[in-house]
Amino acid sequence: MACCLPGWCCKFQRRIEACGVILYEESHLADGDFSTVTLVWHEDDLVVLKRTPLPADQKARADDVVTAHERLRGHPFIVHLFGHDLIAAGDALEQRLLLEYCAGGSLAASPLPIGEAHALPILGQLCSAVSACHAAGVTHRDVRLENVYRRAGPRDTYVLASFGACRVSKLPSSPSGQVLRSREAVAAARQEAEETVHAVCRAPEQVAPELGATLGPKVDVWGVGVLIQGRDMYLSLNMVSPLPRKKLTMAFADLRPKAA
């Protein structure tokens, strides 16, 4: 596709070829633990280019992200995916996603706390997004403030984003979690989750205690509950844990394999 930006604008912006289109860099948005995010022009629209390096044996993880977006395409409270590709980067891979730009930023960057009248619609939209994920056989596994974004516009609309830690079931109609039968399997699942899920999400108060026993929708339900802070929903988003860290840490200890 040809760029529709004025010629002088393209001259001073870095040209990027990704996801089968020509892009022009507007600004660098963020460097996360796992991804680099850049604001770019595609024709006359601002969109986000998200680049995630992956080990060469993690193609299935990249496939899960794309499959999740395809199953959830068109949902009003899920971030839109416009294009994607997967390229070789030395001995590794790089997944590139072209995503909707949500100019309102994440909930983590919102003025906090917020009022009840504002919190209730956010909760409704987030629950709608999570429900759609589970109906499509997608477990997000990283529901938190940093992954809920506000679209710019006259009405406040919030979308669930960042599917890099998601898991997708083979059958969209069967989203139930994988039950792990042995302590060894529990330990392996927790290790896999720790390697996949963003470090902030691994704090005990942000990961369901049953994560080690069931990798399924309950993890997302817990994430929604922590995000809205249960008993103080309209005061949520103040980043203070509603549950004692010591108690949750002890719950995790119970899931660890016991010495023979």
Contact 124, 100 (CB under 8 A): no
| H or E segment and range at residue 150 | strand 148-151
Of 101, 109, 88, 104, nearest in space to 49 by CA: 101
**Residue 219 carries which side chain, given as an amino acid letter?**
V
User: Token digits for 113?
Assistant: 């706390």
Q: How far apart are CA 248 and CA 227, in angstroms?
A: 16
Q: How far apart are CA 157 and CA 6, in angstroms?
A: 31
pLDDT value for 249? 43
Residue 48 forms beta bridges with which residues? 39, 99
Contacts of 47 (CB under 8 A, 6+ apart): 23, 39, 40, 41, 82, 98, 99, 100, 101
- Tokens 């249960």: give the residue: 230
**Residue 260 carries which side chain, given as an amino acid letter?**
A
pLDDT value for 115? 72
pLDDT value for 53? 93
Domains of the chain are 13-100 (3.30.200.20), 107-255 (1.10.510.10)
Residue 235, SS3?
helix
One digit per residue, the tens of pLDDT, for the chain of length 260 reads: 444 554 445 555 789 999 999 999 898 887 766 789 999 999 889 999 999 999 999 899 999 999 999 999 999 999 999 999 999 988 899 999 999 999 999 887 877 667 777 888 888 999 999 999 999 999 888 888 889 999 987 788 999 999 998 888 875 545 445 555 566 665 665 566 555 554 444 444 455 555 544 557 878 888 888 777 643 333 444 444 444 444 444 443 443 444 44
Q: How far apart are CA 72 and CA 210, in angstroms?
A: 26
